[in-house]
Amino acid sequence: MAGVILAVSGKGGVGKTSISAAIVRLLVEHHPKARILAIDADPATGLATALGVDVVQTLDNIRVRIAESAEKGETREAVELLGEARFQILDALAEQGGGGSFAFLAIGRPETAGCYCAINSYLKEVLTLLAAEFDYVVIDGEAGVEQINRRVMERVTHLLLISDQSRKGIQVLQTILEVARRMVMYDRCGVVINRITSPNLEIRLDGIDLLACIPSDNIHAENDILGKSVFDLSPESPVLTGAETALRNFTLI
Ligand SMILES: Nc1ncnc2c1ncn2[C@@H]1O[C@H](COP(=O)(O)OP(=O)(O)OP(=O)(O)O)[C@@H](O)[C@H]1O
Ligand SMILES: [Mg+2]
């Protein structure tokens, strides 16, 4: 299957980054020849640590550099600037080693105070630009509905919503889905319930596919405390087996 763009979304702290990292590891293992790109779209970062990669360049660094060169120089066409961005991004990607064979890009944190609109709209352009270069793009989204609402992820193939068992988590998930139905084009959408502590309590999801349930796992939490990556986890760890079930239900592995 070519041209998969999988976006992970949900409330803060429910396990988006953990599951995004697990998905990248599973895709690398199941599709060793595929071109895989992991994007940390959360300015608060975290995916790099979860994947055990060093952040050499962020999208914001590249954006600022190109904006500066445009200010200094002659008036260049937007399309030319975008072409340069593509070149610099692919260059930055090639430098990444990582725990497996995948490329990594972090959106970064704009140094100037204020809003994230510029970097978010840049991310949107870059996503369109890069989608053609990769077989699988996995996006670890910012918590909440903002990036969906701003259509940063306008065209994804798979929308993966994560929640814990809490009513709040499920409500956020339903809000994201309502907005996504209007603002995002996607082929498949599904839910993973993570960090389950009360397996006997039923969770009601109206009209969304439940792809997998993942129990709370202390070893996973300890791994995170120690700053270890997803590649240090045992293949039997619940986050990995849960992410695997979700990917199988999406028929991506
Ligand atoms: N199944 C699990 N069992 C136990 N702990 C977990 C599990 N999944 C995630 N965690 C822990 O929960 C915390 C939040 O996880 P994670 O960073 O993946 O969530 P997030 O949704 O990306 O958060 P944020 O919104 O802050 O980006 C981490 O400390 C992580 O180790
Ligand atoms: Mg996160």
pLDDT tens-digit readout, 35-48: 999 999 888 889 99
Q: CA 142 → CA 8, 18, 131, 133, 191, distances in Å?
A: 9, 13, 19, 23, 17
Which pLDDT belongs to residue 237? Answer: 97
Q: Is the CB of 32 under 6 A from ligand 1?
A: no
Q: Which of 15-19, 39-43, 59-63 has the highest mean pLDDT?
A: 15-19
Q: Is the CB of 227 under 6 A from ligand 1?
A: no
Residue 5: DSSP 8-state: E
- CA of 83 relative to ligand 2 center, distance in Å: 30
Give burial (CB, 10 Å; 0-12/13-18/19+) of 242.
Answer: buried
pLDDT band with cut points at 50, 70 and 90 for residue 162:
very high
Which pLDDT belongs to residue 1? Answer: 46
Which pLDDT belongs to residue 168? Answer: 93
Average pLDDT over residues 181-197: 93
Relative to beta strand 103-106, strand 36-40 is parallel
Q: Name the closest-CA residue to atom 31, ligand 1.
A: 221
Q: Is 2's pLDDT higher than 90? A: no
Q: Name the closest-CA residue to atom 28, ligand 1.
A: 221
Measured between alpha carbons, how far is 22 from 145 in angstroms, rounded to an integer?
22
Measured between alpha carbons, how far is 82 from 93 in angstroms, rounded to an integer?
16
pLDDT band with cut points at 50, 70 and 90 for residue 81:
low
Between residues 196 and 85, the one the model is more confident about: 196
Q: Is the CB of 217 under 6 A from ligand 1?
A: yes
List the structure tokens of 186: 């996607």
Q: CA 40 → CA 3, 139, 142, 240, distances in Å?
A: 18, 6, 8, 19
pLDDT, the chain, mean:
85
The pTM assigned to this predicted structure is 0.91
Which pLDDT belongs to residue 99? Answer: 46
Q: Is 96's pLDDT higher than 60? A: no
Q: Which of 39-43, 108-112, 186-190 has the highest mean pLDDT?
A: 186-190
Average pLDDT over residues 228-234: 94
132-159 in b/e form (b: 16+ CB < 10 A) is eebebbbbbbbbebebbebbbbeebbbb
Q: Which of 29-38, 77-86, 105-114 has the highest mean pLDDT?
A: 29-38
Q: CA 140 → CA 153, 207, 218, 232, distances in Å?
A: 11, 24, 22, 20
CATH of domain 4-249: 3.40.50.300
Q: Is the CB of 17 under 6 A from ligand 1?
A: yes
Between residues 90 and 239, the one the model is more confident about: 239
pLDDT band with cut points at 50, 70 and 90 for residue 14:
very high
Q: Is the CB of 169 under 6 A from ligand 1?
A: no
Token look-up 């992991």 returns 38
pLDDT tens-digit readout, 111-127: 665 556 667 777 788 78
Which pLDDT belongs to residue 132? Answer: 84
Residue 58: DSSP 8-state: B
Which of these, 59, 53, 52, 56, lies nearest to 127 by C-alpha position?
A: 59
What residues sit around ligand 2, an ion, with C-beta below 5 angstroms? 16-17, 46
Q: Is the CB of 224 under 6 A from ligand 1?
A: yes
Backbone Cα Rg of the chain: 18
Q: Is 98's pLDDT higher than 60? A: no
Which of these, 197, 201, 188, lies nearest to 158 by C-alpha position?
A: 188
**137, β-bridge pairs:** 5, 37
